[in-house]
């Protein structure tokens, strides 16, 4: 679980520049194959991607998946049309990679014995969660697609329009799915003894 002392939580997205070099210039140079620009783009963006992925796939998987995301980004950067902000496109790639990872992981977990599966489903009523751990616990119970919407809105502070662009869904769908995610989170919290 993430703790209050984890520096990943407090990372802020840099302004549109990195050492007075706009993100758009780094993207353009990266598209032309500049290894230095790719490194600078990675340095500029990897912490934000990591923070999202920790909440999507867990701390143990996030490091490897960040590398996978950036491999995919640099492999497909020429497909980035520039119709949205680079950060929006980067979130789309990150969410897609994490959802793909979770689907693979889910297929593998079907082989887990019934005894351990049953034990994993039993809520630990006696455990004393602090608020942050409790929220991380209920977020993990959310469907991955709802969790990605919730994280992009509430943690990454993306607008409905930016989320819609990142996930390639209508803004109305973003609103309805966010509402569903919030309802489920509240339900899960109540089940664990939280009182509204």
Q: What is the CATH number of the domain that holds 48?
A: 1.10.1740.10
Q: Are 196 and 182 in contact (CB under 8 A)?
A: no
Average pLDDT over all residues of the chain: 78
Co-location of 99 and 134 in the same domain = no
Co-location of 11 and 104 in the same domain = yes
Of 56, 74, 109, which marks where a domain is finished?
Answer: 109
Q: Are 69 and 54 in contact (CB under 8 A)?
A: no
- C-alpha neighbours within 13 Å on the C-beta side of residue 176: 5
- In which band, very low, low, confident or very high, does the pLDDT at 109 lie, cut at 50, 70 and 90? low
For 135-178, the pLDDT digits (tens) are: 887 888 888 889 889 989 988 888 999 999 888 899 999 999 99
Range of the domain at 159: 129-190
Co-location of 133 and 75 in the same domain = no
Of 77, 109, 141, which marks where a domain is finished?
Answer: 109
CATH classification at residue 179: 1.10.10.10
pLDDT of 192 = 77
The reply to whether 174 falls in a domain is yes
pTM, whole model, 2 decimals? Answer: 0.65
Could you give the CA distance from residue 69 to residue 90 in angstroms, rounded to a whole number?
8
Co-location of 27 and 94 in the same domain = yes
Co-location of 102 and 154 in the same domain = no
The reply to whether 11 falls in a domain is yes
User: Going by C-beta distance under 8 Å and a sequence separation of 6 or more, which residues neighbour residue 65?
Assistant: 53, 57, 97, 98, 101
The reply to whether 18 falls in a domain is yes
Co-location of 105 and 158 in the same domain = no
């Amino acid at each position: 679980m993430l703790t209050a002392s984890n520096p990943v939580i407090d990372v802020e997205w840099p302004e549109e520049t990195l050492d007075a070099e706009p993100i758009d210039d780094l993207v353009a140079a990266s598209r032309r194959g500049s290894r230095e620009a790719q490194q600078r783009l990675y340095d500029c963006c990897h912490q934000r991607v990591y923070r999202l992925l920790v909440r999507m796939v867990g701390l143990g998987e996030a490091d490897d998946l960040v590398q996978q995301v950036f491999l995919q980004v640099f492999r497909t950067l020429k497909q980035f049309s520039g119709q949205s902000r680079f950060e929006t496109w980067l979130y789309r790639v990150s969410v897609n990679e994490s959802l793909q990872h979770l689907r693979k992981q889910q297929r593998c977990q079907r082989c887990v014995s019934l005894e351990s599966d049953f034990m994993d489903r039993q809520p630990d009523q006696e455990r004393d969660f602090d608020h942050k751990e409790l929220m991380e616990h209920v977020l993990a119970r959310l469907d991955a697609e709802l969790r990605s919407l919730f994280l992009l809105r509430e943690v990454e502070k993306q607008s409905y329009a930016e989320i819609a662009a990142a996930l390639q869904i209508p803004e109305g769908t973003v609103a309805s799915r966010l509402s569903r995610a919030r309802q489920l989170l509240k339900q899960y919290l109540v089940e664990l003894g939280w009182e509204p």
